Structure 1
Amino acid sequence: MTDIPTRSIDKELVAKRFSYSRSTYDREASVQRQVAEKMMRLLTDALLSAGIPRPQLPTHFRHIVELGCGTGSYSRILLNTLQPETLLLNDLCRDMEECVGELCTTRVSFLPGDAEALDFPAETDLITSCSTLQWFNDPGAFLTRCHQVLMADGLLAFSTFGTTNMHEIRQLTGHGLEYLSIEELQALLSPGFDVLHAEEEVVTLSFPTPQAVLKHLKQTGVTGTEKRMWTRSRLQSFCEAYTTRFSDAAGNVSLTYHPIYIVARKKTE
């Protein structure tokens, strides 16, 4: 197994930032919304390639766990497309329950807490997540736990972000998450999973000013580990450097997202 060092992410701060942004997230998180839609397409394609007839897709998974459900954009896609008997929604931020509350019925429940520390139901058919794994301190240990609770031939389908994600912010502030490459993720999965599909892409957003980039990040909650205050002088220096290094001919500035998508099946003994 690849030797991936553990990290130390302030989960309480992450939860606070996402709680703050929950009213603006759906409007601002266009990339994350596209990622959720694509994740479902890739999962569906993997099932079809495995010989599952399309009419059987809505009943193929009986028990699903979604990690990092957030405001529920992916949750709604899961529920409408796969129609499981049970869907357990988890999020680090307890306040997200109000965002998915209308989904909660006798078959849909919400479990708040750190997914790296919670126990999930055994014999789950599908564990899935969008744009969450990058917040984990020990992704390898988490993937091992997923293997333990999945049924034989159960699927793990997730998206996360790769090493060039938001490189503009990291270059200018020296701060950011430690992202894993697609090769590192596949190596972590290899002991217990067969990777059915893995791909990555780069999505570049354009903003009129660096201040607009910071507003976007704040309104999506992805500044979750930044602790330094934005003083007037720091903001001015940041904006000047951002404009110099990452502006185009029209005067707009870029922000890079680097989504990674993986669909894996639990290996049988």
Structure 2
Amino acid sequence: MDKRLIAERFARARDTYSQEARVQQQVAEKMLRLLTEQTPDFIGSAPPPRFRHIAEFGCGTGSYSRILLHRLQPESLLLNDLCPEMKECLGDLLLQDTVQFMPGDAEVLDFPEKTDLITSCSTLQWFSNPEKFFARCHGFLADDGYLAFSTFGMENMREIHALTGHGLDYLPIEKLKELLCPYFETVYAEEEIVTLPFATPLQVLQHLKQTGVTGTEKKVWTRGRLQAFCNGYTEEFSREDGNVSLTYHPIYMIARKKKI
């Protein structure tokens, strides 16, 4: 996994990400709803005192961060992203005394000890070693702390993989449970399929570029390659309404720290 290239692609997309990342925004809103439903101590609209100290990895432009801050009202919220440039998108959040930004690779950075909640949306699929990361999170969390994240499963962007042979090595939900098991009790796990319509295959590519998710693609798009891609996409993934489809496969995981 070329983290430098990933950071570069997301940095370029930071001005268009929030507008284009419709699925990621829906996932962030659902992640927070599931978190409030599946963890104890929520009474009505009041946030639980257990989530006083929160760390979010892969915060990006801050869509999920803003929901976390508003809904959970933590005493401290540490935001992390691989791209230092994302700080430019977090100005309103960083006006709060309770919010800090720490750039860098979450797989090697140290989060504060006794954190109550480590959380993220749409980031873990970019990690090189999720199992090692889960073990490190166990060490940073307070007793009975939670790790809650969304990622994407094996059907994610299947159209792109089918036509280019390129894509991330997405983990199935059962594998994620298996990797969590030594360190966490899985409290909740869910997956779903979301299909987005686009007028043309070119719009699909533009959408991917504007959300930064082309982060591992190094091959040059020549005119011939682009034409072949568009022809294949239209032939294989057209809908009855004349649009073409792009598949997302969100996975939601909520896990409580084990005593080991």
Normalising by the residue count of structure 2, what TM-score does the alignment of the two structures yield?
A: 0.97
| Structure-2 residue corresponding to 1:5 | none
The equivalent position to 1:178 in structure 2, one of 169, 172, 175, is: 169
Q: Where do residues 67-86 of structure 1 align in structure 2 (5 Å cutoff)? A: 67-86=57-76
| Alignment check: 8 A CA contact 2:42 2:48 kept | no
| Alignment check: 8 A CA contact 1:197 1:262 kept | yes
Q: Tell me, which stretches of 5 or more residues in structure 1 are unaligned?
A: 1-8
The equivalent position to 2:213 in structure 1, one of 208, 212, 222, is: 222
Partner of 2:176, secondary structure, is: helix
Residue-by-residue CA offset, 1:181-237 (whole Å, 9 max, x unaligned):
000000001111111100000000000100000000000000000001110000000
Structure 1 residue 250, shift from structure 2 partner = 2.4
The equivalent position to 2:182 in structure 1, one of 166, 184, 191, is: 191
The equivalent position to 1:63 in structure 2, one of 53, 69, 84, is: 53
Structure 1 residue 51, shift from structure 2 partner = 4.7
| Structure-2 residue corresponding to 1:107 | 98
| Structure-1 residue corresponding to 2:150 | 159
| Structure-2 residue corresponding to 1:3 | none
Q: Where do residues 101-140 of structure 1 align in structure 2 (5 Å cutoff)? A: 101-104=91-94, 105-140=96-131
| Alignment check: 8 A CA contact 2:121 2:150 kept | yes
Structure 1 residue 136, shift from structure 2 partner = 0.2
> Hey, which bits of structure 1, 4+ residues long, moved more than 2 A?
50-56
2:142 aligned with 1:148? no
Structure 1 residue 102, shift from structure 2 partner = 1.9
Structure 1 residue 138, shift from structure 2 partner = 0.3
User: Counterparts of 2:151 and 2:111 in 1: how far apart (Å)?
Assistant: 20
| Alignment check: 8 A CA contact 1:58 1:84 kept | no
The equivalent position to 2:16 in structure 1, one of 24, 27, 30, is: 24
| Alignment check: 8 A CA contact 1:18 1:220 kept | yes
User: Counterparts of 2:116 and 2:241 in 1: how far apart (Å)?
Assistant: 49
Q: Which amino acid aligns with 1:76?
A: R
Structure 1 residue 56, shift from structure 2 partner = 4.4
| Structure-2 residue corresponding to 1:12 | 4
2:30 aligned with 1:34? no
Partner of 1:54, secondary structure, is: coil
Normalising by the residue count of structure 1, what TM-score does the alignment of the two structures yield?
A: 0.94
| Alignment check: 8 A CA contact 2:190 2:251 kept | yes
| Alignment check: 8 A CA contact 2:59 2:80 kept | yes
Q: Tell me, which stretches of 5 or more residues in structure 2 are unaligned?
A: none
| Alignment check: 8 A CA contact 2:36 2:42 kept | no
| Alignment check: 8 A CA contact 1:125 1:154 kept | yes
| Alignment check: 8 A CA contact 1:15 1:93 kept | yes
The equivalent position to 1:90 in structure 2, one of 58, 69, 80, is: 80
Identity among equivalent positions (%) equals 64
| Alignment check: 8 A CA contact 1:59 1:83 kept | no
Change (3 A) 1:51 1:58: closer
Residue-by-residue CA offset, 1:15-60 (whole Å, 9 max, x unaligned):
111011111001100000000000000000012xx35433542533
Aligned length: 259
Q: Once superposed, what is the RMSD of the aligned Cα atoms?
A: 1.0
